[in-house]
A and B are shown apart, each in its own frame.
Chain A
Amino acid sequence: MVRSPVLFLAARYLLPLLLIFSVFLLLRGHNEVGGGFVGGLVAASAFMLYAIARSPSAARRLLPVSPPALIAIGLAIAFGSGMVGPLSGLPVMTGVWLAEPLPVLGKVGTPVLFDVGVYFLVVGICLHILLTLAEE
């Protein structure tokens, strides 16, 4: 990949912005346009931008856990959110909500948790595939 100094520098600043934006998309999804899928895709795009600007291994170093681990974490959170219902005798995947909305996050419940799981999973999947291909 051709090294472009503009891209190199821009990526360094765009990455955190894009990540914040992706979390923003994730959290507003329940009431406005957004959601876990789009949030995850934007986050993945952010890392891929960094990978193109620098190198795939640099992008990998930025990740706290490896992409397969992200996939596993995402699946675990998603499944876990479904299992909250049975703990109080409700059927699997019943939406269980906290009574009062929290200040920044808004209403918190198992569907939001599910969305978070989807977010991690999408990030993990996209990065797993793309970084593997980029390193070939």
Chain B
Amino acid sequence: MEQIILLGVTLVFIAPVLRRILGEWAAGIYALLPLSALVYLIIQLPEVLKSGSVVTHVSWIPSLGIDLTFRLDGLSLLFSLLISGIGFLVVLYAANYMHGHLQFGQFYAYLLLFMTAMLGLAWSDNLIGLFVFWELTSVSSYLLIGFDHDSLKARKAALQALLVTAGGGLALLGGLIWLGWETGTLEIAQINAQGELIRSSAAYLPILVFVLLGAFTKSAQFPFHFWLPGAMAAPTPVSAYLHSATMVKAGIYLLARLTPALSGTGAWSTALITAGLLTLLVGAFLALGQTDLKRLLAYTTLAALGMIILLLGLGTPLAVKTAMVFLLAHSLYKGALFLMAGGIDHAAGTRDVDQLGGLARSMPWTALGAFLAGLSITGLPPALGFIGKEYIYETALDTSLAAWLVPMVFVALVSVTAAAGWIFLKPFIGQRKAPESDLHENSILLWLPPLLLGGLGVLAGLFSQATADWLIKPAVGSVLATDTPVKLALWYGFTPMLLLSILTVLSGFLVYSQRRFVQPFVSRMTAALEAISPESLYNRALDGLKTLAAWQTALLQNGYLRIYLIVVVLAFTGLVVLAMLTRVILPAPLTVTSPHFYDIVLAGLIISAVFAIVKASSRLATVAILGLIGFSVALIYLMYGAPDLAMVQFAIETLTVILFVLVIYKLPKFSRITSPRARIFDILVSISAGILMTVLVLIMTLQPLESKVTSYYVESSLPEARGRNIVNVILVDFRGLDTLGEISVLALAAIGVYALVRFKSSAENRISGKSLLAETEKPIRVTAHSILEETVIQSDRSGRMKEEGVEK
């Protein structure tokens, strides 16, 4: 399995290159990924059926227990079949849908990245491995939703999806690590064996909450559901693949996978049933108010996801069976319908259901595919969806909550049926209307995938027992960790479920036909409730965060160098003083030896230089005296036995003086622009900083000098590192990795300086100055301008400033 992942990663990197070489025929190469996965899965099917699972293992960080363990059992088999099968069709479909797009190759890079990550997620048997793939799906989803990056709507939707799912992902990470800690292992198979231990531990509830946060955000459960309709801004193949058939099911997959470990408690059932039911009802209701095909599909997907979570929450073998059947049916028909919607959009020019009609004559193949999928979504025989619906009712009737659960499920399913009718029936029948006048059937690449998926849904229903034996039974076995018999058939006799199914279809048709009353009503109600919806809460929270950030930045980064220095120095001083008062113990009393003459000379030199700087009026003199101080410090290093350091200091001091001279060209002369009170404050700040540094150095010199580290380096420098200069040996050999990091940072700093200097001068020439760089340099300009203004004002007022000639 890891070879397939490796193939995926390789294809991701070379996808754009392939596009440039092969044109759009590169899609054939891209299709190799899902195809190879599909072939592998089919080959492994007998083994999985026989022995329960196929496991492979790649060591990654053994010391932390993080490995890439891949397990192919019933559940992951079902999922990865969906991922690779639907993925294969989507790759072919997108070859035509994205035809002519400039970033064709990049699109496929993102799509293949997602596919690889999703396969890794489905196959992963290690918690952290699973999490890595989980986050990769969030990232690739972000890239795909925002693929049309010129559209503000797409960008905002992508960011929204990312923030919600990644936020949940953060919680998930905490939950997974905690789970690993409690059980002592990160391998899911071993964790699932310790279910009793986990459920009875005190950490169970927090772990559950975190894991549920991750799963619910990813699978768009209420109240985290609002990102899914927004994600419809993505190209339709993406919506078909990610946001109906695979990615949104990842949360469901996780919960199913961890059922042996976490389920069986009241907390689990309550949480899942509540969330699932709410999502089901919200999705079904909101679907009735939509006019856009994709949004109709998005909301009905929400309902379906809620349904599956609800079933997992009920937890009985029957419920889990139903969940798997419904999951399979839903993936097949939703994928088909999404692809069909894309096809209609492509041919007819709109996705607005109210503007479409009678397309069946012009687009017969698309219509056929839609019809087959439609059988499944409305729950009509012989499609798999019919079996699914029967089982849903049977599960609902079977529980103790049947009294109110069944009516709610009924209402939801009626709404979904009605919405489904608007999706797959309404555009094709009746009076022919469409914005596009030249209406004809699409290319085979656009109508064959939905047809195949719809057809598969019907075939799965017709050969229901085969479906049960090959797909459902192993999956249910993995979820419940025991072998459960599964029987699926199209006909069970005249049961209450059948009656309910018939009622659902009839009522759904009734609602369907009353669209002109239903749709505006729901739409108005939705708008009325807008203010308290989770989406508006999210938006308000995000805006609040931005306002807070802007305020705090304006406060601390206001463009005045003086304020920056004061803040930095005061913060540093305060924190260090705090640390010193609470932690430091003087190991020995302070002893003062009499100074040598060179100590006195150097000290005197430095102190008089400091006074000279403060009194100096020309910047060039200041720079020169600073250089003098630097050289004196270097002499101190030399006197006290650090020749390497001294040499470096000499060289750096030289270059620094040159640097300052080059810079002072730009600055105006010294002038007094602050009030005396401010200057006294500044003096106090700087004196306190100076005292702090002195005390720090004194304390440091009192610490014992002998340490094991020193003796280690002294002993091993020559034999192991073949060098006698210990300082240099440490820099390039013992601590070479640190040095590597430091020089990388230096390189970045050099590039940054270059960018700041060069972009500043070009920003001044720009007419419209709205750019990030322009706004970065604004504080520098503001400071310079204010200094210049003050200089002029001061010189007018006090008449003290004498022109001393142009300083060079």
Binding site for B on A (CB under 8 A): 1-2, 25, 29-38, 41-42, 44-45, 48, 52, 67-68, 71, 74-75, 78-79, 82, 93, 95, 97, 107, 109, 111-112, 114-115, 117-118, 121-122, 124-126, 128-130, 132-134, 136
Contact = CB atoms under 8 A, between A and B. Distances in A.
Given A41-B648, A111-B732, A111-B736, A30 B725 contact: yes
Nearest to B651: A41
B739 interface: yes
Nearest to A30: B723
B725 A111 contact: no
A133 B732 contact: no
B531 to A, nearest CB: 54
A35 B724 contact: no
B270 interface: no
B10 interface: no
Interface stretch (B271-279, B575-583, B604-612, B656-664): B656-664
Contacts of A52: 658
Interface in B735-757: 736-737, 739-740, 743-744, 746-747, 749-751, 753-754, 757
B736 A75 contact: no
Contacts of B749: 125
A112 B722 CA distance: 11
26 contacts: A30-B728, A30-B729, A34-B725, A35-B644, A35-B728, A38-B644, A42-B651, A48-B658, A71-B751, A75-B743, A82-B740, A95-B733, A97-B722, A117-B743, A118-B732, A118-B739, A118-B743, A121-B747, A124-B747, A125-B746, A125-B750, A129-B659, A130-B658, A133-B659, A133-B757, A136-B757
Given A36-B732, A37-B648, A132 B753 contact: yes
B652 interface: yes
B750 A45 contact: no
Contacts of A44: 655
B736 A114 contact: yes
Contacts of A68: 751, 754
B557 interface: no
Interface string B652-678: 101100110011011000000000000
A35 B757 CA distance: 31
A82 B739 CA distance: 12
Contacts of B503: none
B731 interface: yes
B72 to A, nearest CB: 32
Contacts of A37: 648, 731
Contact of A129 (B643, B722, B753): B753
B655 A48 contact: yes
The 8 closest A-B pairs by CB, nearest first: A41-B651, A30-B723, A125-B750, A35-B728, A133-B662, A31-B724, A111-B732, A111-B733
B762 to A, nearest CB: 12
B761 interface: yes
B802 interface: no
Nearest to B665: A136
Interface of B: 643-644, 647-648, 651-652, 654-655, 658-659, 662-663, 665-666, 720-725, 727-729, 731-733, 736-737, 739-740, 743-744, 746-747, 749-751, 753-754, 757-758, 761, 808
Given A115-B728, A118-B732, 19 more contacts: A33-B644, A34-B647, A41-B652, A45-B655, A71-B751, A78-B740, A93-B736, A111-B733, A121-B746, A122-B743, A125-B746, A125-B747, A125-B749, A125-B750, A128-B751, A129-B750, A132-B757, A133-B662, A136-B665
A35 B663 CA distance: 29
B725 A121 contact: no
A26 to B, nearest CB: 10
A119 to B, nearest CB: 10
Contact of A128 (B644, B727, B740, B750): B750
Point out which of B728, B749, B808 has the most chain A C-beta atoms below 10 A from its C-beta.
Answer: B728
Contacts, number: 135
B383 to A, nearest CB: 56
A78 B647 CA distance: 23
Contacts of B722: 30, 95, 97, 107, 109
Contacts of B720: 95
Contacts of B750: 67, 71, 124-125, 128-129
Given A78-B743, A82-B740, A33 B662 contact: no
A22 to B, nearest CB: 9
Contact of B655 (A121, A126, A134): A126
A29 B728 contact: yes
A116 to B, nearest CB: 10
Interface centre among A32, A68, A82, A95, by most chain B C-beta atoms within 10 angstroms, is A95
A132 B648 contact: no
Contacts of B808: 1-2
A129 B754 CA distance: 6
A35 B729 CA distance: 9
A45 B651 contact: yes
**Chain B CB within 10 A, most for which of A79, A121, A133:** A133
A118 B736 CA distance: 11
A1 B729 CA distance: 41
B754 A75 contact: no
A43 B209 CA distance: 61
Contact of A134 (B662, B732, B747, B751): B662
A44 B722 CA distance: 28
A1 B732 CA distance: 39
Between A75, A111, A128, the greatest number of chain B beta carbons within 10 A of the residue's beta carbon is seen for: A111
Nearest to A134: B662
Contacts of B740: 78-79, 82, 93, 114
A131 B731 CA distance: 28
A43 B149 CA distance: 47
B655 A31 contact: no
B632 to A, nearest CB: 19
Contact of A130 (B655, B723, B737): B655
Contacts of A121: 743, 746-747
A78 B731 CA distance: 12
Contacts of A122: 743, 746
A132 to B, nearest CB: 5
Given A33-B647, A79-B740, A133-B662, A111 B721 contact: yes
Contacts of A67: 750
Nearest to B727: A35
A130 to B, nearest CB: 6
Nearest to A41: B651
Nearest to A97: B722
A33 B643 contact: yes
B761 A34 contact: no
A136 B761 contact: yes
B648 A130 contact: no
A101 B651 CA distance: 30
A132 B758 contact: yes
Contacts of B739: 114, 118
A27 to B, nearest CB: 11
Nearest to B755: A132
Given A79-B740, A93-B736, A111-B721, A34 B655 contact: no
A2 B758 CA distance: 25
Nearest to B659: A130
Contacts of B733: 95, 111, 114
A30 B730 CA distance: 10
A90 B737 CA distance: 15
A52 B647 CA distance: 22
A128 B725 contact: no
A66 B440 CA distance: 60
Nearest to B756: A132
A132 B663 CA distance: 11
Given A118-B743, A132-B754, A132-B758, A35 B725 contact: yes
Nearest to B643: A33
B738 to A, nearest CB: 10
A133 B648 contact: no
A68 B648 CA distance: 22
A107 to B, nearest CB: 6
